[in-house]
Structure 1
């Protein structure tokens, strides 16, 4: 059986109501991430909380020293759980994540969090490039509405397109419920 680790990406207050960059249904995504977190805790499996902090105090969100950088209470780390701070969308870039996953003997990563089209996409692709098998828990991820060439693209469409792209070659795409049902059987 593959040794599996959970990576919770950027589930931080700025993405929630009253934050600086509210996403589509962040509470739903965080609640599904919480189910995964509880399972990994109960199984004593490796957990990595990723926290994005921009280097610029004038950043539009995740500015240093703001409440927005705090990991949301739905998935708040317990004492002793690993928190890795990053400054780029890819959770591996200039962080100790790769070394810590390898030290834990990880072969498979389960990824969830914010934002599907940016940090989830970059982290999942990098994980596969580094040799891990990857599962993305799609209902524990979300995105905002985007615009391109004057056209508004709904958050659900943004999310679905990125899950379809990741699912084509990079990752197994699962819901939290489906993943947990399979994991409990093993």
Structure 2
């Protein structure tokens, strides 16, 4: 098996009760700045969203606020979320100033208030905002599923005399595996199932 080939099939995971859609913003999935194979990412995240909504899971759209002049500077076209939001008691947008969706945001309180105990994390970029958010979720004792085909990043440029370029697909795989054995990273998006948060 090569580094970019799909992982072996895993047992179908038990349902998760929340979906975190990380930074699926226009700058990162459309136009010249889009991640490689953005169409696949859009398809997988749209499917996850549809099924999470249908099954009553809690949905959070994380939206990165880039600095002035960045492609995701707030209130510019690139900052806009690609997927339409269905705002309501079980679907919210959380804006964030850092890679980690929990850092200096209400995300932790929002998930706790909704009774969430498990999350599926998808979006961009694999080794930055997706990994940072998933890692903090693990540290906070959430069960974390990171579908291998529902997060993406850019190619990593070569460094002359040090290493060759790293294809985006390889960078994404390494980023997910770096989360360690507590994260579920060998499941495909289509195999993720959802349910509503448990009520104590």
Provide the TM-score with structure 1 as the length reference: 0.87
* Match of residue 55 from structure 2: 43
Structure 2: runs of 5 or more not aligned: 1-13, 196-200
1:57 aligns with 2:68: yes
Shift of 1:3: 6.3
Shift of 1:89: 0.6
Shift of 1:153: 1.1
- CA change 1:124–1:177 in 2 (3 A) is same
Task: Report if the CA contact (8 A) 2:138-2:182 is conserved.
Answer: yes
Shift of 1:53: 1.1
* Match of residue 86 from structure 2: 78
1:4 aligns with 2:17: yes
In structure 1, which of residues 104, 113, 131 is the aligned counterpart of residue 114 of structure 2? 104
Output the aligned Cα RMSD. 1.8
Which 4+ stretches in 1 moved above 4 angstroms?
none
Shift of 1:130: 1.0
Number of residue pairs matched by the alignment: 176
Shift of 1:108: 0.6
- CA change 1:148–1:90 in 2 (3 A) is farther
Render the CA deviation track for 1:75-105: whole Å, top value 9, x for unaligned: 3211322000001110001110000100111
Higher strand share: 1
CA distance in 2, matches of 1:142, 1:3: 21
Secondary structure in structure 1 of the residue aligned to 2:132? helix
* Match of residue 27 from structure 2: 14
1:67 aligns with 2:77: yes
* Match of residue 145 from structure 1: 155
CA distance in 2, matches of 1:131, 1:163: 17
Render the CA deviation track for 1:26-59: whole Å, top value 9, x for unaligned: 22112111111111111121110100012x2222
* Match of residue 91 from structure 1: 101
CA distance in 2, matches of 1:9, 1:3: 16
Task: Report if the CA contact (8 A) 1:125-1:170 is conserved.
Answer: no
CA distance in 1, matches of 2:54, 2:152: 25
Secondary structure in structure 1 of the residue aligned to 2:27? helix
Shift of 1:163: 2.2
Structure 1: runs of 5 or more not aligned: none
